[in-house]
Amino acid sequence: MRVNYDDLSKTIVSLTEGEDDVISLMATVACEVHHSDDRFDWTGFYRVTGPETLKIGPYQGGHGCLVIPFSRGVCGAAARTQEPQLVPDVDAFPGHIACASSTRSELVLPVCDKNGDLLAVFDIDSDQPDAFDETDVTGLTSILKFVFEISPNGGRLS
């Protein structure tokens, strides 16, 4: 099953409408995204909890790394650059942190608040090589922007 981002967006918008607790929003997004596509083996957030530090947040799937510094791994690169990290082969990514030995490819997106400050990164791992593409980047970025940047100001998905 491959995700339909229009349907997923509508579902997440309806489930998160009126909610302003960031952890509740993260838990809902992680759950809905994780169950929307067979490619998604681990889905969750690493929250900014201190200077240059990410800690595991709400997620779905097996265990994850508890703490990731901005200086390491795919999640750290997304936090450091605040740019999406689309990694077709994690073994080829310099400094990749193997939180799960089954991970073959990874997509990590920065998550900012309405002021543009980094709240977290959203991490999706797949046990399939080259599992993600620009459609995933675009679809998920739109959902994350709506939930964490636009929604508290009454915005709508475009």
Q: For residue 152, what pLDDT is reported?
A: 53
For residue 21, give every residue at least 6 positions away whose Cβ sits within 8 Å of its Cβ, in sequence order, or none.
none
For every residue of 2-43, DSSP letters joined together read ---HHHHHHHHHHHHTT---HHHHHHHHHHHHHTT-TT-SEE
Q: What is the pLDDT of residue 1?
A: 84
Name the DSSP class of 158. -
> 5-16 and 134-145 are packed helices; what angle lies between their axes, rounded to 10 degrees?
20
Please state, for a pLDDT cut of 90, what percent of the chain lies above it.
83
Determine the residue type at 13.
Answer: V
Q: According to the model, what pLDDT value does residue 101 have? A: 83
pLDDT band, very low/low/confident/very high, at 154 (cuts 50, 70, 90): very low
pLDDT (tens digit, 9 = 90+) per residue, 110-137? 999 988 999 999 999 999 999 999 999 9
The class level of CATH for 5-153 reads alpha beta
Q: What is the mean pLDDT of the chain?
A: 92
Burial annotation 114-152 (CB, 10 A radius, 16+ → b, else e): eeeebbbbbbbbbbeeebbeeebeebbebbbbbbbbbbe
pLDDT for 22 beyond 60: yes
For 4, 11, 51, 139, the CA distances from 70, given in Å and listed in that order, are: 31, 32, 9, 25
Instruction: Tell me the mean pLDDT in the region 89-100.
Output: 86
Task: State the average pLDDT over residues 135-148.
Answer: 97
Residue 158 has pLDDT above 50, yes or no: no
Give the confidence band of 88 by pLDDT, cuts at 50, 70, 90.
very high
Mean pLDDT of 15-32: 94
Q: How far apart are CA 75 and CA 64, in angstroms?
A: 12
Asked if pLDDT for residue 4 goes beyond 60, the answer is yes
